[in-house]
Amino acid sequence: MASIMYAAECPQCGRSAFADNYYKIDVTYIHCRRCGYNAVTSRNPEEARRYGHDVHENPGYGVCLSITKEGHLEMTLFNCFPVDVEQCKAEILATDPELKKSFLVTYTEGVFEIILGTPFENFHLPFKEYAEKMYEKHGDIEGFEGLVPIEN
């Protein structure tokens, strides 16, 4: 089923989150590569369920993201405070020892802590600034004017 991907303000941290909207049935998957928040929302949860989309919401406690030399992306969104920070660090260092693109960030009570690596260039931008930057760079999404284009 067709969906459209765009940037949306993260309801938890206020930065930019990935939204993937199945517009024909009003189901939106959202995940935040800043704070780790993720959810599946719908104005009609029962219908969403009939199409196999489980409406739910998970709080975020951070993100572990590693990108291998081949460009393969592996991402963990923490839905509770990570107890295995050391293991995450080891995994990142195993795939991207120079920490060129990988990072480990925790998020608790509104505070980000960068444990390892360098987050994306746009990581720190509040949603409004991010949206302005994306419009400037990419313009409107064809056929979906009003939605903010997305990149990391």
Interface ranges with Zn ion (CB under 5 A)? 10, 12-13, 32, 34-35, 37
- Name the token pair of 20: 């993937």
Angstrom distances, CA of residue 107 to CA of 3, 6, 40, 103: 29, 23, 20, 13
For residues 25 and 114, which CB has a smaller minimum distance to Zn ion in the complex?
114
Q: How far is the CB of 144 from Zn ion (least distance, A)?
A: 22
Smallest Cα–Cα separation from 41: which of 51, 30, 50? 30
DSSP state of 148: B
Q: How far is the CB of 128 from Zn ion (least distance, A)?
A: 14
Q: How far is the CB of 1 from Zn ion (least distance, A)?
A: 26
Q: Which residue has the tokens 């960068």?
A: 114
For residues 10 and 134, which CB has a smaller minimum distance to Zn ion in the complex?
10
For residues 64 and 97, which CB has a smaller minimum distance to Zn ion in the complex?
64
